[in-house]
Amino acid sequence: MPKLNRILETSIYVDDLERAARFYETVMQLTPLLKTRTLFAYDVGGANVLLIFKRGASLRTQTLPGGTIPPHDGAGPLHICFAVDQEALAWWDDRLAQHDVVIEGRTTWERGGQSSYFRDPDGHLLELMTPGNWTIY
């Protein structure tokens, strides 16, 4: 039976695309792949795509030259976890502090991994996790 290979894209919805772009490009150092009036897409580690939609802008079916995209949207603070190397976590914590991003929580997992939690400008909970939590990471 065919299996799912991975999650390729994950989405969040924001009130201000330009404000989100400043955060994800400057603080998180993500590279833009696409910028439209309703969607910004970012490369995450050369293997995944973070889609940032303007909240409320995708409530109607979008018609493209190759087909259609059904309506979707999201509200409330969502959660995204970014994988980082163990040696990089302290660097990221310092980088966040330099940009006045408050680390709201830290966790050391049973298997030895560590996480730092913080928020983007729209209140989404972001996590940086080192190897040693999930058996696959």
Domains of the chain: 1-58 (3.30.720.120), 77-137 (3.10.180.10)
**Which three-class secondary structure state does DSSP give residue 100?**
coil
Q: CA 39 to CA 74: how far, in whole Å?
A: 13
**Stated pTM of the model:** 0.94
CB 103 within 8 A of CB 117: yes
- Residue 27 CB partners (closer than 8 Å, separation 6+): 95, 96, 99, 101
Asked if 13 contacts 51 with a C-beta cutoff of 8 angstroms, the reply is no
pLDDT category at 101 given cuts 50, 70, 90 is very high
**Across 87-91, average pLDDT:** 97
What tens digit of pLDDT does each residue of 24-82 get? 999 999 999 999 999 999 999 999 999 999 999 999 998 989 999 999 999 999 999 99
Burial label, 58 (beta-carbon count in 10 A; 0-12, 13-18, 19+):
buried
Six token digits for residue 32: 């833009």
* 137, pLDDT greater than 90: no
Residue 102 Cα distances to 113, 119, 127, angstroms: 21, 8, 12
Tens of pLDDT, residues 11-33: 999 999 999 999 999 999 999 99
CA proximity to 120, closest of 73, 83, 92, 79: 79
Provide the CA 35 distance to its chain's centre, in angstroms: 16
Residue 50: per-residue pLDDT: 98
